[in-house]
Structure 1
Amino acid sequence: MTAAARPIPLVRSSPISLRGPAKPDPQRAERARTSAQQLVATGFLQPLLAQARATSIAEGPFAPGDGERRFGPLLDRILADSVTRASNFKLVDAVEERLLAPTPVRPQAPPRALPLVPNDAWHRAAPHGLRIDPQPVELNA
């Protein structure tokens, strides 16, 4: 046999991980940090600032005017974004770590067989216009 005609032995190896990248992505950490900052700003700080602004006890000349009421949410968004970017926010660090953590691969459960005997779940799953009778139908020929 020549070298070209020899069969190639097949060796079973461990499965290839499709979860992790083959080569490190230098922008992944930057994207994770930006995403964590945006999540903390919109999910935590913005509602906190909006609640603080809504519960203001200012009266008279110090009460919020039309402009403050109209542009208050915009100010909250800008403040929340600047706070998460400027400070060393531990919540942002925790979210970033969770985003960068490898995703564990869980084995899938084996598929379950459909019931062959009609039961309550089987009747509820039937379309509304379809009558499902669990009793066998006898045909008289």
Structure 2
Amino acid sequence: MAKFSSSEDVYNVLGTFFREAATDDQMGPEIQKSKLVIQFTYTDPDSQITIDTTNIADGQYFTVIEGETDKQPDVSLSMKADVANQFWLGKLNLLMALSRRQMVAKGPIPKIMKLLPAITPAYAKYQAYLEQIGRSDLLQV
């Protein structure tokens, strides 16, 4: 059974986490340097989050778009929402997930791989965030 109950649940958890990351001085600058539009398309439940490093607002390193958008991504990653949760907990290796087709990527994968060092701090921050919002159910993978 999926851990996320609805697309709104995905947006409340992952979308909010990404919006917090957009202002993070540790990760944000490196992500912004990529100049990529990265789109995450989730199933179980169906939802979509787009990270746009080309269009930023004051105090943010990138923009987060929840739901459908006309913005054309440079890189698209498709997966179950539970797989995304595992990844952000640091319990899923990106290369292994791609090779096992748990994640399907379109676009310049080497550019995404270059972002891995920049997002490594997100793993501990995501776990702390889940604890803070009372979603310990998402910590069990």
Task: Give the TM-score band, short-chain normalised.
Answer: under 0.3
Structure with more relative contact order (C-alpha pairs < 8 Å, separation 6 or more): 1
What TM-score do the two structures reach when normalised by structure 2?
0.24
Answer with 1 or 2: which has the greater Rg.
Answer: 1
Which is richer in strand?
2
